[in-house]
Copies of this chain bind each other. A is one copy, B any other.
Amino acid sequence: MTDEKESRERILDAAHTIFLRRGTASARTQEIADEAGVNKALLHYYFGSKEALAEEIFRRAIGDFFPRFFAILGSGLSLDEKVPLVVETYLDFLSSRPYLPGYVVSEMHVHPDRIRAVFASRGPAPLDVLTRQIEERVAAGTMRHIAVEQFVMNLVSLIVYPFVVRPAMEIVLQVDGDRFDAFISERRRTLPGFVLNALRP
C-alpha cells in the first residue's frame, strides 16, 4: 500500500486506539490490523509480537503524561502561577484523552514491570525547584509545612482522579459527556484556590 501515512505509523495509531479502548488483554491483533487497514501479518512484520506492540504503545502513552507535568512544576514560575497552570493544562490534556487514565492504570496494575522499564530511561522526577519554593514560603510564614511528595500527590490526585473514575461518574451523575465536562470546568475554576488555600498557615 504505502498509502498516505506509512503502514507502520498507521498500525501504531490503530494499536493506540484499540488498546486504549479495550485494554491490552482484551484487544485482538486482528482488530488492530483491521483498524489500520492492513494484514495481520504486517503487524508482526513490524513489531514482532502483540506484546512488543503493547509495550511501545504503553511507553508512548506514558511519555505523553509525565514530562509536560514536571516541566511546569520544575519551571521558574511562582507557586501561585504554577498551580493554576498545572490544573488548567492537565485538565485540558485529559479532557481530550478520555481513555488514557483508565488505560494507564489498568496497564500498570497488570504489568508493573513496564513502568520500571519506562522510568529507567528518564531519571526520577525533578522536584528540587518545587521543594525550594515550598521551603521559602514556609520560612516566610506564609505557608504550612508539607512534604513535596505529598504536595505533588495532592495536586495530581485532585486533577487526575475524576478522569480515572469517569465511567462511574457519568453513571452516578446520570450524565453523558456534557455534564462531566461541566463538572471538570468547575474544577478548573476551583481547584487552584482549594490547593493554595489548604496550605495557608
Write the residues of chain A forming the contact surface with B, with a CB cutoff of 8 angstroms.
22-23, 25-26, 99, 102-103, 105-106, 108-110, 112, 115-116, 119, 124-125, 144, 146-147, 149-150, 153-154, 156-158, 160-162, 164-165, 167-168, 170-174, 183, 186-187, 190, 194-195, 197-200
Contact = CB atoms under 8 A, between A and B. Distances in A.
Nearest to A195: B198
Nearest to A124: B172
Contacts of A110: 22-23, 26, 106
Nearest to A197: B198
Contact of A156 (B23, B161, B171, B190): B161
B102 A109 contact: yes
A186 B194 CA distance: 20
> Interface majority SS on A: helix, strand, loop or mixed?
helix
Q: In this complex, which of A109, A124, A125, A158 has the most chain B Cβ atoms within 10 angstroms of its Cβ?
A: A109
A124 B171 CA distance: 9
A108 B168 contact: yes
A109 B26 CA distance: 12
Contacts of A168: 108, 115
Given A162-B153, A198-B198, A186 B147 contact: yes
Contacts of A119: 171-172
Given A106-B110, A149-B173, A161 B164 contact: yes
Given A23-B106, A115-B167, 10 more contacts: A23-B23, A23-B25, A25-B25, A99-B109, A105-B109, A109-B167, A150-B190, A197-B200, A198-B198, A200-B200
A153 to B, nearest CB: 6
29 contacts: A23-B23, A23-B109, A23-B110, A25-B25, A25-B26, A102-B109, A105-B105, A105-B109, A105-B164, A106-B106, A106-B109, A112-B171, A115-B167, A116-B171, A124-B172, A124-B174, A125-B172, A149-B173, A149-B183, A150-B187, A153-B162, A156-B161, A157-B157, A157-B160, A157-B162, A161-B161, A161-B164, A194-B199, A195-B198
